[in-house]
């Protein structure tokens, strides 16, 4: 599975959009981009995934560049409850997920 690169931490003001970047320059053609988050003392929680098109659900939007070498997760209106570690993962559909260190997002009032 391709390795991803994320900033170690980010801050965001409550109510503003949180834009979390991820680089995956070695992603394979059949690998998806998955985003999960992990709130303190809980198991990881699925957010969204996509192959090449942009995706949106009730939690977030996923923007994937045309060359698929990077993506951005957007939380449109961050709340304090969105403070968590966010993981960007590349994996073939249905395969095991290989987690990196992720980005610690701190939402501040």
Partner 1 sequence: GAGVSQSPRYKVAKRGQDVALRCDPISGHVSLFWYQQALGQGPEFLTYFQNEAQLDKSGLPSDRFFAERPEGSVSTLKIQRTQQEDSAVYLCASSFPFDSPRDTGELFFGEGSRLTVL
Told to check if 94 binds partner 1 by CB under 8 A, we report yes
- For residue 105, which of 22, 15, 33, 39 has the smallest C-alpha distance? 39
Told to check if 7 binds partner 1 by CB under 8 A, we report no
Q: Which is nearer to partner 1, 49 or 69 (CB)?
A: 49
Q: Is 4 exposed, middle or buried (0-12, 13-18, 19+ CB in 10 A)?
A: buried
Query: Within the chain, what is the greatest distance between any pair of CA atoms?
Result: 40
Told to check if 29 binds partner 1 by CB under 8 A, we report no
Binding segment toward partner 1, per CB under 8 A, in 21-29, 63-71, 76-84, 96-104: 96-104
What sign results for the dihedral spanned by CA atoms 79, 81, 83, 84?
Answer: negative
Positions in 32-61 near partner 1 (CB under 8 A): 32, 34, 36, 41-46, 49
DSSP-derived 3-state class of residue 63: strand
Of positions 14, 61, 72, 100, contacts partner 1 by CB under 8 A: 100
Q: How far is the CB of 69 from partner 1 (least distance, A)?
A: 21
């Amino acid at each position: 599975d391709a390795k991803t690169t994320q900033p170690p931490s980010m801050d965001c003001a409550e109510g503003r959009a949180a834009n979390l970047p991820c680089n995956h320059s070695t992603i394979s053609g059949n690998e998806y981009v998955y985003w999960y988050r992990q709130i303190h003392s809980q198991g990881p929680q699925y957010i969204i995934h996509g192959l090449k098109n942009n995706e949106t659900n009730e939690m977030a939007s996923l923007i994937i560049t045309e060359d698929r070498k990077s993506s951005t997760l957007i939380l449109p209106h961050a709340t304090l409850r969105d403070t968590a570690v966010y993981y960007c993962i590349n994996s073939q559909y249905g395969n095991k997920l290989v987690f990196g260190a992720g980005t610690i997002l701190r939402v501040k009032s």
